């Protein structure tokens, strides 16, 4: 980097994508100008089926860790896990203030308490249209409609110009809480001049407009009066508007509400305490009341809409829930979208619910769910309202980002002003120009239990290998002075063949190992590494030749 480039780098606005570009989830963006870094969102991603044993996936913050003294704050757009879920892990390394609206910080506070970080982090509550100064940045929070209460876009004013970061949004003209997307403020910024727009790309492939949340309430209003048995509505615990509509329709039908699932109970309590949910105490029931109420007076709001293995709804569907048993005539409503990758799991869940005698409604057969993300016409409206000089699509897989740029070009943004960035790329704005200038270290960190980052691709590969082909343990006792075989070889297998029915095969494998040991001289048998290598090679050849499998082979050498 020459002297001119160094000066430009110091005075330029740089946007660094740490997560959320080229993937759904793990949203995290850093804005840097001079010595000031502002982080927007800090989300996690749930593991795909091939990430065996992994609980969460969070962004790699190596780049931030090296600049920790320059990080001024984290601003949150809303309270979904893909925007706040990584905070307990990141805040252990970056102790900075966190700004967000009341419900967003209510959910964050509960999460920090769970990780014993409550009181250690400064949480700053803001309201829509509040403006805060963070280093050289001025940040105004602007109301946007979404599938969770209190969502905001951010208008970030830097020395280089204004950037609008939409977060997740849609243009809902009839929102349940009456809080509209703040198009007036967005237009105000558009009139004054916006350097760049970073806009949600999740629903860019959907034509037209996203339906209003009120359609879901109307669907509930059609379904509930026709149900003679108990009603179970499964939804995300953060969908406060959805819970409110269920409660309202249930009250009109004379049904009491039972909250089922730890996160549902917790989030509803937070929303009630903050005044975002209006459910009377009399309408809420305790699990102990359930056996004493007639089915037509019961409505259960539950977690588990994605068919998660240990969720409340899955246990009910498998007839494994101690207190809640499905009966013929009960109705189950899956009021959430199918997250990509969960299709088979949810299909199996629906099959089990039908086996229990329930009637099932889901988004493919009824309007019991609407998206919280903008479709094409709303995305065009955002582009035309803000009228940015440069456009960067965010929140989506590569195809979503690509399609969003095509959409932006249709509304008049020139191709050279559309920037398709991916995680790790640094977009630099300087003197009315913009370009991707470098690629920094980024990626994914796996969280497995209490371990953060100690499981990598090699461990996942081994887990996949074990899950597909099983394992063989070879136990050998060796005299380390003479190299004589004192014990074994003994063979134990797991997930490879059923030992009780495969004794003949395992005996053949044992003979192969014994022969391999005979083939190496006594001096080499005194070297454990040499013995392990010989055993692995012999068994691999045998298994491949006989049954075409590749089990994980673990020689266990006992030195005697």
489-517 pLDDT per residue, tens = 888 877 776 656 677 788 888 888 888 88
Q: Taking Cα atoms as reference points, which of 305, 292, 287 lies closest to residue 232?
A: 305
Average pLDDT over residues 206-216: 94
Q: Cis check for the bond before 489: say yes or no (omega within 30 of 0).
A: yes
Most confident range, picked from 412-416, 492-496, 522-526? 412-416
At the topology level, CATH places domain 214-361 in Rossmann fold (3.40.50)
pLDDT at residue 268, rounded to an integer: 95
Residue 218 is given by DSSP the state H
3-state SS assignment for residue 308: coil
pLDDT at residue 450, rounded to an integer: 53
Task: Tell me the CATH number for domain 470-559.
Answer: 3.10.20.580
Angle formed at CA 140 by CA 435 and CA 29, multiple of 5 degrees: 40
Q: Please, are residues 469 and 544 in contact by the beta-carbon 8 Å criterion?
A: no
- What residue ranges do the domains of the chain occupy? 7-208+371-452, 214-361, 470-559
Average pLDDT over residues 370-386: 96
> Looking at 170-184, 439-453, 478-492, which range is the least confident one?
439-453
pLDDT at residue 45, rounded to an integer: 83
- Where helices occur in 447-499 by DSSP H, the ranges are 457-469
Q: Please, are residues 239 and 201 in contact by the beta-carbon 8 Å criterion?
A: no
pLDDT band at 7 (very low <50, low <70, confident <90, very high): very low
292 is catalytic: no
**Catalytic-labelled residue, pool 78, 165, 373, 400:** 373
Cα–Cα dist 305/242, whole Å: 13
pLDDT band at 399 (very low <50, low <70, confident <90, very high): very high
Per CATH, 7-208+371-452 and 470-559 having the same topology is answered no
pLDDT band at 4 (very low <50, low <70, confident <90, very high): very low
Q: Mind listing the pLDDT tens digit for each residue in 216-262?
A: 999 999 999 999 999 999 999 999 999 999 999 999 999 999 999 88
Which H/E stretch holds residue 251? Answer: helix 240-252
**Residue 1 or residue 252, greater confidence:** 252
**Residue 45 or residue 410, greater confidence:** 410
pLDDT at residue 560, rounded to an integer: 67
pLDDT band at 107 (very low <50, low <70, confident <90, very high): very high
Q: Mind listing the pLDDT tens digit for each residue in 343-354?
A: 788 888 999 999
Cα torsion angle, 127, 129, 131, 137, sign: positive
Average pLDDT over residues 63-80: 96
* CATH ID of 7-208+371-452, from 3.60.15.10, 3.30.70.3270, 3.40.190.10, 3.90.1150.10: 3.60.15.10
**Residue 361 or residue 552, greater confidence:** 361
**Catalytic-labelled residue, pool 200, 395, 404, 448:** 200
pLDDT at residue 529, rounded to an integer: 80
Average pLDDT over residues 2-30: 79
Report whether pLDDT(115) > 60.
yes
362 is catalytic: no
pTM confidence score: 0.82
Q: Please, are residues 232 and 313 in contact by the beta-carbon 8 Å criterion?
A: yes
Q: Mind listing the pLDDT tens digit for each residue in 268-290?
A: 999 999 999 999 999 999 888 99
């Amino acid at each position: 980097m020459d002297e001119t480039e160094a000066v430009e780098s110091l005075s330029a606005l740089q946007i660094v994508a740490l997560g959320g570009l080229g993937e759904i989830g793990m949203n995290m963006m850093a804005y840097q100008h001079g010595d000031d870094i502002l982080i927007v969102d800090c989300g996690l991603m749930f593991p795909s089926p091939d990430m065996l044993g992994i609980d969460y996936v969070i962004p790699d913050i190596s780049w931030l860790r090296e600049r920790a003294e320059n990080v001024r704050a984290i601003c949150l757009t809303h309270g979904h896990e893909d925007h706040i879920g990584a905070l307990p892990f990141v805040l252990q390394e970056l102790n900075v203030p966190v700004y967000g609206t009341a419900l967003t910080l209510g959910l964050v506070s509960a999460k920090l308490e769970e990780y014993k970080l409550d009181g250690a982090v400064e949480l700053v509550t803001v309201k829509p249209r509040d403006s805060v100064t963070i280093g050289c940045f001025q940040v105004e929070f602007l109301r946007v409609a979404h599938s969770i209460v209190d969502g905001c876009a951010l208008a970030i004013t830097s020395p280089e110009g204004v950037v609008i970061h939409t977060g997740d949004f849609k243009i809902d003209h009839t929102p349940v809480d009456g809080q509209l997307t703040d198009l007036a403020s967005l237009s105000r910024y558009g009139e004054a001049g916006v350097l760049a727009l970073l806009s949600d790309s999740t629903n860019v492939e959907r034509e037209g407009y996203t339906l209003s949340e009120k359609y879901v309430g109307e669907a509930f209003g059609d379904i509930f009066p026709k149900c003679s048995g108990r009603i179970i509505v499964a939804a995300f615990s953060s969908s406060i508007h959805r819970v409110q509509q269920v409660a309202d329709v249930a009250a009109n039908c004379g049904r009491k509400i039972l909250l089922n699932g730890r996160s549902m109970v917790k989030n509803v309590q937070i929303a009630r305490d903050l005044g975002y949910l209006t459910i009377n105490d009399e309408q809420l029931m305790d699990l102990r009341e359930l056996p004493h109420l007639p089915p037509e007076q019961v409505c259960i709001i539950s977690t588990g809409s994605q068919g998660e293995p240990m969720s409340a709804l899955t246990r009910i569907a498998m007839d494994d829930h101690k207190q809640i048993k499905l009966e013929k005539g009960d109705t189950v409503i899956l009021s959430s979208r199918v997250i990509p990758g969960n299709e088979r799991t949810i299909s199996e869940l629906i099959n089990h619910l039908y086996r229990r005698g329930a009637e099932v409604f889901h988004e493919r057969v009824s309007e019991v769910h609407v998206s919280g993300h903008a479709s094409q016409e709303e995305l065009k409206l955002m582009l035309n309202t803000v009228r940015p000089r440069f456009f960067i699509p965010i929140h989506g897989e590569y195809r979503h980002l690509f399609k969003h740029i095509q959409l932006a070009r249709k509304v008049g943004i020139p191709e050279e002003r559309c920037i398709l960035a991916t995680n790790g790329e640094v977009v630099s704005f300087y003197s009315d120009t913009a370009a991707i200038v470098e690629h920094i270290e980024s990626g994914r960190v796996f969280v497995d239990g209490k371990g953060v980052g100690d499981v990598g691709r090699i461990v996942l590969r081994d887990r996949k290998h074990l899950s597909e082909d099983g394992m063989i343990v070879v136990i050998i006792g060796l005299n380390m002075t003479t190299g004589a075989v004192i014990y074994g070889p003994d063979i134990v297998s797991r997930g490879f063949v059923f030992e009780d029915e495969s004794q003949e095969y395992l005996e053949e494998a044992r003979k192969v190992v014994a022969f391999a040991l005979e083939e190496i001289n006594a001096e080499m048998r005194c070297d454990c590494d040499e013995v392990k290598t010989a055993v692995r090679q012999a068994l691999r050849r045998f298994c491949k030749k006989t049954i075409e499998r590749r089990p994980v082979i673990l020689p266990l050498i006992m030195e005697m």
